[in-house]
């Protein structure tokens, strides 16, 4: 069970690293935001899932953490994408 737990933690960290590396790409800000938010959400969920395997007595709390991560990271991405437009509805350069 320890191997599986550490495997999910390492995969979660790989997703975090992959999302962070996407920031250095020369694409639009919205593309960077999307790739970073997806990678961070998946990485965080995998790490919390690994914790659920390690500490099964805390499963309800960790399931709540997974649901919260999914909802809040998605909503924050939409808010940041909406705020990246100027008042006329055009995308900002960057």
User: What is the tens place of the pLDDT at every residue in 15-60?
Assistant: 999 988 888 888 887 888 888 888 999 999 999 999 999 999 999 9
Greater pLDDT, 7 or 94 = 7
Burial 44-55 (b: 16+ CB within 10 A, else e): bbbbbbbbbbbe
Structural domains counted in the chain: 1
62 — phi, psi (to 5°)? -75, -30
Residue 52 contacts residue 39 (beta carbons within 8 Å): no
**Parent domain of 59:** 1-90
Threshold 0.85, pTM exceeds: no
How far, in Å, CA of 33 to CA of 84, rounded?
10
């Amino acid at each position: 069970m320890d191997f599986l737990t550490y495997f999910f933690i390492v995969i979660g960290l790989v997703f975090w690293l992959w999302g962070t590396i996407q920031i250095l790409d020369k694409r639009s800000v919205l593309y960077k935001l999307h790739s970073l938010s997806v990678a961070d959400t998946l990485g965080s969920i995998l790490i919390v899932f690994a914790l659920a395997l390690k500490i099964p007595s805390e499963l309800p709390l960790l399931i709540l953490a997974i649901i919260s991560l999914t909802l809040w990271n998605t909503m924050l991405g939409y808010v940041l994408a909406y705020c990246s437009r100027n008042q006329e509805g055009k995308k900002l350069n960057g």
